[in-house]
Amino acid sequence: MNPRRWQCVAIFLTWIISIGTPAALAETPVSEAVPVHIQTELPKAVMQGQGTYRWFGLRIYDATLWTGPEGWNDLQKNKVALDLRYARNLVGRKIADASVQEMEKLHQGSASQRQKWLQQMTTLFPDVKEGTHITGIYIPNESARFYLDGKWLGEIRDAEFARAFFAIWLDPQTSAPDLRKKLLGHS
């Protein structure tokens, strides 16, 4: 092998080591036990589905959708909980930026609304580390509540924001259709 190729292999291996071992990249099964904060918000919660979000093959987070015993219907009628367990360290501002970009792709809200939502999310969303959970609770026609590792984080009392935020994962036009299918239990 020529020296240039060895250099590329060394860079690739260094990169792999920096993001984690292959075992760390494997999907982590999510427990079916209902976390207390979800049970409080959504009595009789049942797991609708779960899946993993990847970006260019890298595991970003594992997601679990919880619904009431009636199951999933749509964002107009159902109170749901979406739990994201992060697989890597991310800056809160980047999470907010990515959320607004996805809302824009889905044509959710006006430009001024998305700017307002970005400011609210930037204030609310913390930096996360591998293993951190952020749980969003969707309350139809009212708000979105957020928990960090099961502890109250805050609420955005804006029905349009709540619908737009949860559309990122649950709208039929989501940019992650395979994850949506898994969350809805259609895997």
**Beta carbons of 32 and 47 less than 8 angstroms apart:** yes
Containing 27, the helix (H) or strand (E) segment is: none
Structural domain includes residue 20: no
31 — pLDDT class (breaks 50, 70, 90): low
Structural domain includes residue 85: yes
Look at the chain and report how many structural domains it folds into.
Answer: 1
pLDDT per residue over 126-163, tens digit each? 999 999 999 999 999 999 999 999 999 999 999 999 99
Structural domain includes residue 47: yes
pTM for the full predicted model: 0.81
Domain span holding position 107:
25-183
Burial tier of 126 (Cβ tally within 10 Å: 0-12, 13-18, 19+): middle
The half-sphere exposure of 97 on its side-chain side, counting CA atoms within 13 A, is 6
**Beta carbons of 108 and 162 less than 8 angstroms apart:** no
Task: Tell me how far apart the alpha carbons of residues 49 and 72 are, in angstroms, rounded to a whole number.
Answer: 10
Structure letter (DSSP) for residue 34: P
Structural domain includes residue 48: yes
Q: Is the CA virtual torsion 102, 106, 108, 111 positive or negative? A: positive
pLDDT per residue over 34-69, tens digit each? 999 999 999 999 999 999 999 888 999 999 999 998
Structural domain includes residue 82: yes
**Beta carbons of 81 and 144 less than 8 angstroms apart:** no
Q: CATH number, domain at 142?
A: 3.50.70.10
